[in-house]
Structure 1
Amino acid sequence: MKDETTPIHPGQFLKIQVLEKLALGIDDTAIQLRIKRESLSRILNGHRNISVEMALKLEALLAGVTGATAADWLRMQAEYDIYQKSKDLVNTIDELKGEWIGFYYDEEYEVRPNKEEIETRKILSSNLKKSRDELKINLNEASKKLGVSLSFLKDIEGKGKRLIPISFLAKASVEYLISIDHLLGLSDDDSINKPDTIERLSQIKINTEIMNKINQENILIAKVDAKVNRISTKFIGLSDEVYNLQSLFNSFCRDNQQLSKSQGMLSLKLAVINTVDRANQYNGMLRRYKIL
């Protein structure tokens, strides 16, 4: 009932996939749903949510055509709302991830850092900033490499009052080419920070990543090519049958106009339309990539 990548508002689904394809008018549909035309119009345009009452009405009226239950309509609404709200809260969500995986977390005790832990955090903050500066990496780039928000990294390097995820330390050690012991002030050996060492290790890391990426892409391309060829071969024969089915169905509807208005035939009509749409889309994709 939805796009595989971006959730669709249930009202838009109702408008595009049901009313338009079955040539059902807004006025008639509003009357059957026992709601005002203006209310239905707001739903169809995505300006009003599907309520529990509306979901039950849609199930009663269209279940024979769409196969959708009230729960399906409400689930589509929930997925759409979550997707829209998550875009507004992306920074907050990023900052919450891993927040309570720290040096001294214990479920049985209240979190109260002692003096040694406070001092360790100050040392870590200083060493993180020093290492980043020596590698000439700005805060924006560093936050992306370390997989944290910009505000989180600024706070770590500045005040050092955050709980530090262990995964963050491991990532910083790899990206900054420095041991965790040195980041925490447990070792004074900072030879890994010398420019010649950094350049050599960085080049090795880059070369390794490039080769791994190339190998992975080659394997993936081979698998995709093989799968596309298998699917395309089957589809070429199947698509002709789909178009023949559409022609026969349209001919039957013309000869039996009264029967074609029944709910069962409307359901079958929608299925045929969707099948032909998919066939056309797939044909277009195959031609675009010069497979046909």
Structure 2
Amino acid sequence: MNVATLFDTMHAPAVSMLIYVTLFLISLLTVISNLLVIITVCHFKKLHSPTNILLLSLAVLDCMVGFLISFQIMLIDGCWYLGDIMCSLYFVSDYAITSASVGTMVLISVDRYVAICHPLHYPSKVTAERAKICVIACWISSVLFHSLLLRNNLQKPGRYNSCFGECAVVVDYIGGIFDLLLSFIGPVTVIIILYVRVFVVVVAQARAMQSHVADVSLQSSVSVTAKKSEMKAAVILGVVVVVFLICTCPYYCVTLMAEDDGVSASSVAFLLFYFNSTLNPLIYALFYPWFRKSVKLIVTLQILKQGSGDTNII
């Protein structure tokens, strides 16, 4: 399977400029938004929970994706100026970071599943130390797997380039299938199953609250609260799953078509795939009120005050 850069052909100046500006804005927004999440979770001690450790891992990975997007600016017209070694390292980093990001999303879904479906066991099963171990294991396994997957490209950088200035790597067919299964199909299946299970439990609990209300005077308020909770859970879970699938499915579908038909990957699918890293802070962090509070403290430089890390923003 040939994994060439997206922008492997010459474009009109106006088109190149449009792509350049789009990539630059996505890169900038991705880095800034994820840096806000990183600073927030690291600075405020009250946020050092297992769930937030996973959010921190995702933010760090997505921030790296933002930096990687900037390298694509060099490839708008198909020319790579950093050499063959950097080309191979770029692709290995790209694959590993993207895979680790998807793996972290799986860990987040497992965390939410245990918290909602098995709340009594959550404090003992899910701890900050275990979350850190899972994150480290996810990162290391992603780097090792994709280093092995692209070993031929790392052993002899530039071996698959057809001309000077090209940046292309090749993954064998079996390796490509394994990568597709481990980096997309498997994680997506796990995420959907767990989130559907969580949604079913949340809806069941909300309905149980409505049917077991003894105080008639409180019936109305409890009913409203239960409905709001049900709708909020539906919205959050729907956004998490739908946005992830919308951003990733087109890219992998186009990639499979490219394998069979020899067509190049769509620019829109590629940009959408990376734009998921820009949306992740909004999906996983902006739903939390403490994030909005922390952004205000960061922007106003209140976090520079002594003892600000002990501030209770939850």
Shorter-chain TM band: under 0.3
TM normalised by structure 1 equals 0.24
TM normalised by structure 2 equals 0.23
Q: Which has the higher contact order (CA 8 A, sep 6+)?
A: 2
